[in-house]
A and B are shown apart, each in its own frame.
Chain A
Amino acid sequence: MNLNQYLNSWENYLVGHDNGESISANNARGLIYKEMVWGHYEGTLEKMFPRLLKFQNFDWADVAREYFTLYPPTSYDLNQLSFQFPDFLLLKANLEVLPYYLYEIALYEIAEFQVYTSHEKSPDGIGVYLNPTCQFLDLKYDVAKMIQTSEKSEIEIIKKPNLLCIARNHDGLLKFIELNAQALELLLPLEDAPLVDPIDPNDETFKKLVAEGIIIWNK
């Protein structure tokens, strides 16, 4: 057996359908590896999507098997392995196997993680900026409210189209806000470039976006 064959036999055993005879005569010990590898795969989904479980009683072992067969674990970053999970749920929703809102909850959880761990730094120059950690989600369900309610152990499915903005504020806390037309009007120009001064510092929407940390105003 050459090196290539050896490595492939491990891969076939760990994530394929090989029974492990080619890597070890002692299958009980080979199983230790299989359990550890799949433990990592399942664990990453479980940790990334804690809220999903409140809406759907997933068996993570089964789900991980199916998901990682469709979307092979090709990243060295364990967290990134879960980034295509919303696509997997969308696929299931399109097949009418799972409800569509699960896809949106998963999108929300990924966005929260990415905002929380973003390398983007707050701008320190004078001016009005869009918080660089911001992520925008165009949703059909009121996911923020659904999650909030689920934390009180109440499951409520609220169909309500909304544009949600998630950002990490100056204190490192996550903030989310539903954007209306006025807020969008203020944010869109900031996507291109910061402003030296606010258009109207007394505008209530502007003040709210600054208070929530979506807009950063350095005077």
Chain B
Amino acid sequence: MKTLGVGIGLRRSHHKDFLNGLPQVDWLEVISENFMSMGGHQENILNKILENYPVICHGVELSLGSLDPLNPYYLKSLKSLIEKTKSPWFSDHLCFTSNNKVHFHDLIPTLRCSESVDLISTKINHIQDKMKTPFALENISYYVESAHHEMSEPEFIQQIVKKTGCYLLLDVNNVFVNSFNHQYNALEYIKSLPLDQVIQIHLAGHFDRGDVLIDTHGDFVNQQVWDLFSETIKLLKRPVSTLIEWDNDVPEINILESEVLKAKNILGSIL
């Protein structure tokens, strides 16, 4: 799969920058749900961006870990968006966001058990078949650990990848946040993932509450996360499409451009 370089997540406060100019980013990631059901201005901005940048669809509501069946209307709408954007792959998270049709609109960690492996793999296989576009699964940040897990997270991911052949969207900040919150070695964690399947990387800022790191996407990428990114690229030994996420207290576009440049310099210095 062709690598796209370093991009940013499209946020509302930057719409004007993309309508009036060409910010220095290689590509854009859009939150699928923000564009699936909205026309008008949302559609116009997407059309404008598609003239100048590659776009990847990144969803938050597939709810792969839920026992609720996949929503056919959601899939139909997602497929239309993927076709419109010509997204070379699309992604969502290893989590559940709904249960008994109640939507939480947040990423809740699922139970790592063989039943979940089968459930999630069946869903991913169905989705890949329907969408005719490669799917990438993202590791989430989580703050609580269940005593009922049957396996580690890398083992869980490996089993799903084996059953589906799906790609991985490796969120390096999430690994860092989790490694602090659950006291494990972040690099060892990354080494134990099926790295050949990593198609994309997420980088973001987090908030240090003292007792816990919270994945807020509301700050600069932390230096330790940049370091972990460097180590990850050294392990991968190849360029990977990389994305800077900034969702809260979103700064001016030039700040995002400087974070993109920083990621490019790291990639350039290693490869």
Candidates B40, B63, B146; contact of A24 at CB < 8 Å? B146
Inter-chain contact A76/B74, CB cutoff 8 Å: yes
Give residues 44-72 of A contacting B (CB, 8 Å): 72
Candidates A23, A41, A76, A77; contact of B146 at CB < 8 Å? A23
Contacts of A176 in B (CB 8 A): none
Contacts of B104 in A (CB 8 A): 11, 14-15, 37, 40, 73
CB of A110 to closest CB in B, whole Å: 14
A116: interface (CB < 8 Å):
yes
Contacts of B105 in A (CB 8 A): 37, 40-41, 73, 78, 81
Inter-chain contact A11/B212, CB cutoff 8 Å: no
Candidates A8, A41, A172; contact of B99 at CB < 8 Å? A8
Inter-chain contact B106/A40, CB cutoff 8 Å: yes
In the complex, what distance in Å separates the CA atom of A2 from the CA atom of B43? Answer: 43
In the complex, what distance in Å separates the CA atom of A77 from the CA atom of B214? Answer: 24
B100: interface (CB < 8 Å):
yes
Give B104's nearest chain A residue, CB to CB: A37
CB of B148 to closest CB in A, whole Å: 4
Binds A, one of B1-9, B31-39, B128-136, B188-196: B31-39
Give residues 1-56 of A contacting B (CB, 8 Å): 1-4, 6-8, 10-11, 14-15, 23-26, 28-30, 32-33, 36-37, 40-41
CB of B230 to closest CB in A, whole Å: 29
Interface size class of A (residues with CB under 8 A): 35 or more
In the complex, what distance in Å separates the CA atom of A160 from the CA atom of B71? Answer: 43
CB of B177 to closest CB in A, whole Å: 12
B115: interface (CB < 8 Å):
yes
Candidates B71, B106, B113, B143; contact of A76 at CB < 8 Å? B71
Query: Which of A7, A15, A23, A40: most chain B Cβ within 10 A?
Result: A7
Give A39's nearest chain B residue, CB to CB: B106
B103: interface (CB < 8 Å):
yes
Candidates B42, B106, B145; contact of A33 at CB < 8 Å? B106
B200: interface (CB < 8 Å):
no
If the complex has contacts A6-B111, A6-B148, are A120 and B100 also in contact, measured as CB distance less than 8 A? no
Give A119's nearest chain B residue, CB to CB: B39
A117: interface (CB < 8 Å):
yes
B135-151 contact mask (Cβ, 8 Å, vs A): 1 or 0: 00000000111111000
Tell me the A residues contacting B by CB distance below 8 Å: 1-4, 6-8, 10-11, 14-15, 23-26, 28-30, 32-33, 36-37, 40-41, 72-81, 116-121, 168, 172
